Amino acid sequence: MTNKSIDIYLVLLILFLLIICYYKYRENQIETWINYQVNPYGNYYTGANDPVALYPKPIFREPYMYPACRMINYPVPHCQTLSD
């Protein structure tokens, strides 16, 4: 083998390793979507990243016309309050 052919194989090897590293890194960066239920009224929402980081948000009054609700099929079938 000549010195030139060794250089070509070396470049192809490095390129191949970079492609593998890129796909391994990209695999960890894909967002995951989950459905979660918010208390106290039981509304469902879709959020990115597992687990969804929720903080307690005080609700000072009940939603509009509570306990009236409408049926929603997304993200799961449930009865959503009218305030959303």
Question: Whole-structure pTM over 0.85, yes or no?
Answer: no
User: How far is it, in rounded angstroms, from Cα 15 to Cα 12?
Assistant: 5
For the chain, give the mean pLDDT: 76
What are the residues whose beta carbons fall under 8 Å from the beta carbon of 61, sequence distance 6 or more? none
Residue 15 vs residue 59, higher pLDDT: 15
Phi-psi region of 31 (alpha: psi -120 to 50; beta: other; left: phi over 0): beta
Q: Where are the domains of the chain?
A: 33-81
pLDDT for res 46: 79
| Spatial CA neighbour of 48 closest among 30, 68, 33, 26 | 33
pLDDT for res 55: 61
